[in-house]
Chains A and B, each alone.
Chain A
Amino acid sequence: MLARPESFFEDRFGLTSSAMERLLGSQLAGRVDHADLFLEYRISEELTLEEGAVKKASRHVSQGAGIRAQSGERTGYAHTDDLALPNLEEAARQARAIADQRSASAAVAVGTGRPHDLYTLAEPPVTAALDRKVALLLEMDAAARALDPRVKQVIASLGSEDVIVLIATPSGFAVGDVRPLTRLNVTVIVEENGKREMGSYGGGGRVAFDFFLEADGQEERWRHFTSEAVRQATIKLHAVEAPAGEMTVVLGPGWPGILLHEAVGHGLEGDFNRKETSAFSGRMGKKVASELVTVVDDGTIANRRGSLNVDDEGIPTRRNVLIEKGILVGYMQDRLNARLMGAAPTGNGRRESYAYPPMPRMTNTFMLAGHDHPADIIKSVPRGLYAVNFGGGQVDITNGKFVFSTSEAYLIENGEITRPVKGATLIGNGPDALTRVSRVGHDLKMDEGVGTCGKDGQSVPVGVGLPTIRIDGITVGGTQV
């Protein structure tokens, strides 16, 4: 949308680098272990189609500044959405008040490195022409209805945003980023003999609007999203009761990677491990998964939803190996927890917006491919569940118990995929679940770009990925005893 973040905040709000240095310097320098100013300007747009017409359209602007001061384990944080200098000065005073009782330790110099360039776009999605967007949503509606006469309702939405951020510290370090993001989603309601079901599908990333019009394999992405939503909804119409109890589960590739996000990802975030409240606390270097399992969190994949050029503390993102051949080798860190644990920041300090202080968060989390053919993995299971699509998941970090809920799953009987089953929640124990992975396919796939992770009231876009895997024993929460 716009020029460099540095000149953007200067031009629009008069926040010159010297004004920011004065703000951070006079209020915060020398009294704290770390301080920063986070400036953000966000434009977003959402179009929604239902009942065959785009009747809802909205556009939003939000802006603000978050000022943070840290001393020891203490964080003072103040934010305001009025960027006038006197307001920022008041915020800086409030942030400092808590942190300046005494500076516990000398500031640690952090090698910041060069930011990446992962998603520069000729035309950001938020500025693409509205009539093209409306036309696409109408086409999806027509395509869904043409695919199956049982389609009674189509709700398609296209959201786009462009976020400009600037992170500055008292040492004069300043780094900016311009972050485009878009997501196309379609939900269909199907009806047969008075029975209704719903199917949803979508995707996106830090990509231009044209991404949806391009082919990914056989068909254009928008067409694929639409046919997937219809297919899933119609399959559910004939789903039988899901089984209840512990059994072998085969997860399909892609979005079922939400398993990793819940089972191990959150538990390996630095804050919980620094506080020793994670089920993974103290397990560094220990075996937490089968030797077939290597798990990576990588914020540097071009154009992906979970990727960032720099995290929200100005640290360039990295490819961080979390579990290598079953051994726990890495946590995800922000500046605070890295400093307190004597570790290096890993580019995982993220926040929902200026209204929140950063925390260690995931970016794109996935398991590396193995060697098995997916068809062989299914054939190897006498009785079990084959789950290919999921809704959301959740984890209790402290006891390690996690859940994720199927939205498309089938029974496996004698090595064959048989009947579709109703949605069921799968529940397992994080430090234990991946030790039961007995087969890993060669078909690693990343999700389509729809994930949003919530932690402590903050939502951030993330990605997941998985090859087909077999887990020997996880509790399936169906109704069929």
Chain B
Amino acid sequence: MTAIEVEGLSKRYGPKVAVDDVSFTVAEGEIFGLLGRNGAGKSTTVDCLAGLRVPDHGQIRVAGLDPRQDRHELRQVLGVQLQESQLPDRLTVGEAMRLYASFYPRPADVDGLLAQLDLTDKRTTRYRRLSGGQKQRLSIALALIGQPRIAILDELTTGLDPVARRDAWQLIDDIRNQGVTIVLVTHFMDEAARLCDRVAIMRDGRIAALGAPAALAQPTLEDAFVALTGRRTS
């Protein structure tokens, strides 16, 4: 079964081409990594998958749905963690979780999810009093609260300390084992190598390489990344 199909996706902002004829598929239950330097087109691709932007060209199917035409259905089955998305300062962790849980017909257990992300003792803490890592973990929790079939996690572990990063990885493993398909946008090659079944490395809006991390690694995934996307290949 295919969870995500992207065929010939292109998107430009005025004269600037953000995504240029990108195609890939993600199998159900797969963890798919989207790598690339800043401005490579990762976020625009993710926005198109989530139905936040209209592609100029190309076909997208997420869980068999068209992200624009079937928006309503897609929102029920897709969980998205967006970069730099915040919450109101005076909202507490528990309130945010209950609020987002109320959006979905079959939400995950709030307490269980908070425990998994080590936020149980922050339940009554207001958003602005959270550390960067705690905000990030809450953001992950909100993306998963609706028990999505597919989750898009943009810069999942940015701002997390090494222990919290490992915990987040464990969580990703756990939810994948529940059958959730995951698209991971990341800058961290060790994270991609550790978690992803396959990765796409983007450069200038195109896919420069696509495959299993071990197959692309020469000798490591990071070396391959630098060779493919660096200005100078040294």
A and B held together in a complex? no
B-binding residues in A (CB < 8 A): none
